[in-house]
A and B are shown apart, each in its own frame.
Chain A
Amino acid sequence: MSTFNAELYPLLARVDSPEELRKLSVDELEIVCSELRRYLWDTINAVGGHLAASLGVVELSAALHYVYNTPEDRIVWDVGHQGYIHKILTGRRDKLGTIRRMGGLSGFLKRNESEYDVFGAGHASTSLSAAYGMAVARDMKGEKHSVVAVIGDGGMTGGLAFEALNNAGHSGRDITIILNDNRMSISPNVGAVPKFLAKMETNPLLSKIKDEMWDLMGKSPVGKETMRSFAGRFEASLKGLVSPGMLFEEFGFQYFGPFDGHDIKESVEILKNIKSRHKHPVLVHFLTRKGKGYDVAEADSVTWHAVKAPAKG
């Protein structure tokens, strides 16, 4: 059953695949996001399914597929119930109305449903371990694509996520973690200063200097860990005042953020910088709101976490 009415969502109608999405301008991308949000809301309220989580990642999902060359670049979604937008963008737009119905789309991600679902999930906290495995495999095969894991702040509370951080962080391998932080109260860290600092960090020139310092310190006779830890602490003393990134940096991930995950233009800019500049363990922190765009769902994302299909009468 097709629930997609091209007249209602004219720009989204052109997006049959991420390849089409990548042909759009950033301004058009913004419009696609509003169409995506509306299409998701209309469809899921009609047929039932997880709603709030996907409403919260509309811009993030679009930005990821816009910047990364999926499916060659791998995006591993934690849990998977926030994957509806990803599904709409990856050739399953017209089937959204079949979600969670027998024979229809799965409510989670599945490897056998789409080549864009590179690793399936349903339970939380597995994405970092899986993505790290995929990053190692890429290196063993001599390939060059990006591997990105998208994990929520909830998934990040699972022990497995920390086992993976512990293992992947100091490997030096090219892996990007997107922390989709949708906590209900927006962090007091959000504001002009951290935003400025974070933006500065993704600036190509400044990051180049920083990367070179990092490499240089690795070659220092004093002992690379000592030097790096010294430099890290120096940097952290400034950054630690305004951001929660310390934890991840201790694990060996370069931390960027927090950013507004609903600002599509900023998200695209940041991800482009990350993709082109940072070939080591990176964590990018986005703040999002579950249920974003619909007041009722934003105000009570617990109730709107999933909606039931209306009873037929």
Chain B
Amino acid sequence: MNIFGKAMIQEAKRDKRVCVITAAMKEGTGLVEFSQECPEQFFDVGIAEGHAVTFAAGLAAEGLKPVAAIYSTFLQRAYDHIMHDCGIQHLPVLFCMDRGGLVGEDGPTHHGCYDLGYLSTIPGMVVSAPRDGQELRNLIYTGLNWADGPFGIRYPRDKAPDHINWDETPALIKVGSWETIRDGKKVCVLATGTMVEAARKVIAAEEYNVTLVNARFVKPIDEALLSQLLDTHEAVLTLEEGTGFGGLGSQVAMFLKSNGHDHLFHALHLPDSFVEHGTRSQLLELAGLSPRHISEAISGMMKAELTLDPCRSACNKTSGEQNEHESSR
């Protein structure tokens, strides 16, 4: 079922200021029913992502609650509009980015790999990724009640299990708060979006006694919780289905170094190369984010006596390719 579309219908009926904008992706973003049920609050602007965002900023400037529903990869086309028209003016536009992470068969032009990084560079922007459908609904609700600037939610194409109680009002999540999924020892796994469930499964299957945190906000990070976790753990592993630049891993690493923490740190993320097309599981394997990679990273850190090579798997692969390239010159 389509959680985004259904959640938007609920929100739009609850609040007439809510309006949804799509750039010719009504079907893809799951807005067909919305467009029928709330036609006055639905705007398809055509294949014009930049205009969609600045148009949304114009709506927000007048006190409406615009939601720009644009695939992660297509939102790249509107970067300056998010920065210049929404960010600088602190206009509350909610960005709902479908197809976050690896999309599979459509390949490198369509993967949504960069959103967590490039959106985090925008001062004041909230960047989030839900772990499941219920959290997506809660984040939409939270984002619509956020008045301080642009708010991004990225989620995958995956089908989410339908365990949502639609009669219940969604919960307001404290912006920048993370959620501890399980408490464990030594290693603290910080995962965002799709990687929360992936890590949970690996930890359960392998019976690893490590801590797992749902880092649902990539920006701002939960510095208070992170500080507490650093007091009680020796190692930190970050997991994200996105570029290593500017996303969760890099922000956590910066926090660690800036605050003088010398914890063992390891980040799993997508490689600094364009990932080809294939099935999602093939690509996760190729990119170093498969359950096997997650498991190896956790077990490696559990065993480590601060000897773990901090640049393995995905990272290793990229540097290997570069070396090969250089030697062939």
Residues of A whose CB lies within 8 Å of any CB of B are 76, 111, 118-123, 126, 129-134, 136-138, 140-141, 159-160, 163-164, 166-167
Contact = CB atoms under 8 A, between A and B. Distances in A.
Interface string B177-191: 000000000000000
Contacts of B40: 140
Nearest to A158: B50
B56 interface: yes
B61 A167 contact: no
Interface in B53-91: 54-64, 66, 80-81, 84-85, 88-89
Contact of A111 (B54, B61, B81, B84): B61
A129 B61 contact: no
Residue from B41, B48, B54, B64 having most chain A Cβ neighbours under 10 A: B54
Residue from B46, B56, B88 having most chain A Cβ neighbours under 10 A: B88
B61 A126 contact: no
B88 A120 contact: yes
B42 to A, nearest CB: 11
A251 to B, nearest CB: 12
Nearest to B50: A160
A134 B59 contact: yes
B141 interface: no
B61 A118 contact: yes
B89 A133 contact: no
Given A111-B89, A137-B64, A163 B57 contact: no
Interface in B301-326: none
Given A137-B64, A163-B45, A130 B50 contact: no
B298 interface: no
A133 B61 contact: yes
Nearest to A111: B89
B84 A130 contact: no
Given A130-B58, A136-B59, A140-B64, A123 B43 contact: no
A106 to B, nearest CB: 11
Chief secondary structure at chain A's binding surface? helix
A163 B49 CA distance: 9
B107 to A, nearest CB: 25
B85 A126 contact: yes
A131 B84 contact: no
Contact of B85 (A130, A137, A167): A130
In the A-B complex, the 4 residue pairs with the smallest Cβ-Cβ separation, listed nearest first, are: A133-B58, A137-B62, A163-B51, A129-B54
A76 B54 CA distance: 12
B63 A126 contact: no
Contacts of B51: 129, 160, 163-164, 167
Contact of B50 (A118, A119, A137, A159): A159
Chief secondary structure at chain B's binding surface? helix
Contact of A126 (B16, B60, B81): B81
A122 B60 CA distance: 18
Contact of A167 (B19, B48, B88): B48
Nearest to B85: A126
23 contacts: A76-B58, A119-B89, A126-B85, A129-B50, A129-B57, A130-B54, A132-B58, A133-B62, A133-B66, A134-B58, A134-B61, A136-B19, A136-B59, A137-B59, A137-B62, A140-B17, A141-B62, A141-B63, A141-B64, A159-B50, A160-B50, A163-B50, A164-B48
Residue from A123, A129, A131, A166 having most chain B Cβ neighbours under 10 A: A129
Contact of A123 (B16, B45, B64, B80): B80
A123 B84 contact: yes
Contact of A166 (B46, B61, B62, B81): B46
B61 A119 contact: yes
Contacts of B66: 133
A111 B86 CA distance: 12
A123 B60 CA distance: 19
A122 B58 contact: no
A126 B88 contact: no
Contacts of B81: 126, 160
Nearest to B60: A133
Nearest to B59: A133
B91 to A, nearest CB: 8
A138 B61 CA distance: 11
Residue from A121, A159, A160, A164 having most chain B Cβ neighbours under 10 A: A160
Contact of A164 (B55, B57, B63, B64): B55
Nearest to B84: A123
Contacts of B59: 133-134, 136-137
A131 B58 contact: yes
Nearest to A133: B58
